[in-house]
Amino acid sequence: MAVLVNFKICDNAKECGGIAVCPTGALSWNEEKESIEIDNDKCISCGLCEKECPIGAIMVAKNSEEYKKIKKEIDEDPRTTKDLFVDRYGAVAISDFFKIESEEIKEKAEKDCLTLIEVYNPDVAECLLKSIPIKELTKNLPKDTLFYKTESDKIIDEYNMIELPSLLVFKKGKLLGYIDGYYTTDEKEKVISKLSDIIK
**Least separation in angstroms between CB 25 and ligand SF4:** 8
**Residue among 53 and 191 whose Cβ is closer to ligand SF4:** 53
Residue 198: which of 150, 151, 141 has the closest Cα?
Answer: 141
8 A C-beta contact, residue 89 and residue 132: yes
**Residue among 28 and 121 whose Cβ is closer to ligand SF4:** 28
**Least separation in angstroms between CB 61 and ligand SF4:** 9
List, in order, residues 6 or more apart from 75 with CB less than 8 Å away: none
8 A C-beta contact, residue 138 and residue 147: yes
Q: Which residues bind ligand SF4 (CB under 6 A)?
A: 3, 21-22, 24, 26-27, 43-49, 60
**Residue among 22 and 117 whose Cβ is closer to ligand SF4:** 22
**Least separation in angstroms between CB 73 and ligand SF4:** 17
Count the Cβ atoms, other than its own, within 10 Å of residue 121: 17
8 A C-beta contact, residue 190 and residue 136: no
**Residue among 58 and 109 whose Cβ is closer to ligand SF4:** 58
**Least separation in angstroms between CB 144 and ligand SF4:** 49
**Residue among 68 and 135 whose Cβ is closer to ligand SF4:** 68
Residue 118: which of 195, 197, 196 has the closest Cα?
Answer: 195
CA distance linking residue 63 with residue 187, whole number of Å: 34
**Residue among 9 and 119 whose Cβ is closer to ligand SF4:** 9
**Least separation in angstroms between CB 19 and ligand SF4:** 9
Which residues does residue 4 pair with via DSSP β-bridges, in sequence order? 59
**Least separation in angstroms between CB 38 and ligand SF4:** 7
Q: How far is CA 81 from CA 41, 57, 119, 184, 188, in A?
A: 28, 11, 24, 17, 21
